[in-house]
Structure 1
């Protein structure tokens, strides 16, 4: 028997309303209503509008003169088979909206909303999961979205699911809160030219201004911190190969939602052991987890978050961490948890992993690693599937000042979700402009190139920007 659905939320345009109409007819719902965000232009401004289907004499909340807009309402809802729809203006008051929704009947009304989300479903789901925290919602009508959440919770319909075309709350079902979103980005460096840009713009958040909305839409954000954070930063030159970052960067990283930072690279020790200690201190003060060390590969600095283990190693120093030592450490870790290896390795500025990288990657997976995320090459490298596990040999640069080639200003972001036993990897391509990463708009050609240098059995998925790893028996 079909379970009555209380609230349906629709994203984007009239196509969504067609889908909602089909949904209502298919499931024979006997009541309906609308929370609808649209720009009904008045002579003075644009209004966010709430439309409710219910009693004919229902009183509008902050009702305005909608006679001039009647034709717009009729047009936009012409194929939605509901009647007695009442338009309601949503003002800026969250409390007023709650009071209004408290007056609605859970048995007589169903609500719809239309609004603009962020661009990709990977981030959309996180917005819905955090719907109650309205201040963090990046949609064109956060109060419309909050109203749906509030009314659903009031009526005891607080479980929700996500699909490509609509979102709906229902009384039973698995909550998306069971799904954690991980996002991996490439190497980050905040010295030299990046430091000058931050100072010239008087903003240490400058590198993240074009990408922040997306970074804050995940549960765990992971990167490689390519240098130490120190109390007395020393600027040498824009060509120096010795890095150090201003102490304010720790808070900036926290504010941009970073949770896990690898210190296992060839630059974290650029200010010596005292610089490494300061880095750990500033990260701890800002509740940022760090993993790994520039020298050595002990298990002292691993991170365990729920059922995930992060283990980071630096293979750029010749005598640092033998393959056998790394494999032995992996074998000591719990096989009941998902092990993510963060590895700094390989040759710079080449797009294909070396034989030694491939051999080590296979050894790590054979020993128990579930996912390998690599860095150091400063360019994107091939993706390999081995024993049903993924190896991202290099994500390239995320924030750097290597403006001498297009390839060193490109990066790969990898989103990871666990869904019904599957590992779902979503791929995003970024470019930098003056140390500010942003999403590549026309990414098809770059995905085709990445597919061409990667495992044959991944080519189709890489071109589509999504790789799914299914559990094996």
Structure 2
């Protein structure tokens, strides 16, 4: 039976989002998108903040931004949307030092939301998340090349960091991480990657190479994020590479050219352990919540996605689907 899994870019619930959520309904952060999220068979996000009221802002190296959300509302909000999995390998899990990272990991575990990419040791941070969706077993590994000072160590909490330069040592490290995931015999293997710099509309060559390497090593879907703007989509050897899913919820200053407040809810149809179809539903951030994009905004999203996918040969493969786009993978 085909299943539909949703994937989002960054979900940042701190600062102004956290402030507004203290005086509105728990599920208000999802706007009118909420019902659609709840109807999905599964939902995977990148959690771009820690969930805690503890810790002090990271000062060991320069950090201009620190993102933290109160778990008293944030956890119920994630549950209300039906979030099944959260990626934690990113550049904000240690914004409030080790206590807040540990609170995040423990809170998600206690709530039953699967997660990968951060932990008490490097071995824990590299462990895959295993999630079952109506009989479909999905393994997710989460890695980042951002903020090397946040990297977990043999006895130090942190995130699963790899430079994504693909030297011999890194290839073996990544192969070991993927082998751990495959030991669970998943139907679908997903790599959720927080890679690359902010505010760039196309991936650099090393990220394309890293994505291709993962597919060659057996990954079935690549869920990219980090740039704060959505990037193009490539289908390599029958596997979709979502180079960057942009931002889904945040309070960031808007770049009027790149429009980091606009993106998509990315939906993949999975049949017999393969992604066969991809649907892109345009979204827009307003009032510290996510909303459906319509009219000129939706048109802008469709046009930019086609433009940004052109280098990968997929621009003409997109078909119009309501306000969004659809891509047949296999």
Task: Give TM-score scaled by structure 1 length.
Answer: 0.57
Partner of 1:250: 75
Partner of 2:32: 210
Alignment RMSD (CA, Å): 2.5
Q: 1:289 aligns with which of 102, 107, 114?
A: 114
Structure 2 residue 323 is the aligned partner of structure 1 residue 452: no
Q: Per-residue CA shift, 1:75-110, capped at 9, x if unaligned?
A: xxxxxxxxxxxxxxxxxxxxxxxxxxxxxxxxxxxx
- The alignment partner of 2:314 has SS state of helix
**Which whole-Å CA distance do the structure 1 matches of 2:106 and 2:47 have between them?**
14
- The alignment partner of 1:258 has SS state of coil
Q: Is the 8 A contact 2:319 2:327 kept in 1?
A: no
1:186-335 matches, within 5 Å, as 186-199=9-22, 201-232=23-54, 241-248=65-72, 249-293=74-118, 296=122, 299-305=126-132, 306-318=136-148, 320-322=161-163, 323-324=170-171, 325-331=173-179, 333-334=181-182
Q: Is the 8 A contact 1:448 1:463 kept in 2?
A: no
Change (3 A) 1:232 1:330: closer
**Which whole-Å CA distance do the structure 2 matches of 1:340 and 1:440 have between them?**
27
Larger strand percent: 2
Partner of 1:469: 329
Partner of 2:279: 426
**Which whole-Å CA distance do the structure 2 matches of 1:381 and 1:226 have between them?**
18
Paired positions, count: 290
Structure 2 residue 211 is the aligned partner of structure 1 residue 386: no
Structure 2 residue 297 is the aligned partner of structure 1 residue 437: no
User: Structure 2: which 5+ residue stretches go unaligned?
Assistant: 152-160, 164-169
- The alignment partner of 1:209 has SS state of helix
**Which whole-Å CA distance do the structure 2 matches of 1:292 and 1:267 have between them?**
12
**Which whole-Å CA distance do the structure 1 matches of 2:55 and 2:18 have between them?**
10
From the CA coordinates, give the structure whose radius of gyration is larger: 1
**Which whole-Å CA distance do the structure 2 matches of 1:445 and 1:224 have between them?**
24
Deviation for aligned residue 1:433: 0.9
**Which whole-Å CA distance do the structure 2 matches of 1:422 and 1:267 have between them?**
30
Partner of 2:158: none
Change (3 A) 1:284 1:423: same
- The alignment partner of 2:260 has SS state of helix
- The alignment partner of 1:372 has SS state of strand
**Which whole-Å CA distance do the structure 1 matches of 2:275 and 2:24 have between them?**
44
- The alignment partner of 2:270 has SS state of strand
**Which whole-Å CA distance do the structure 2 matches of 1:221 and 1:181 have between them?**
9
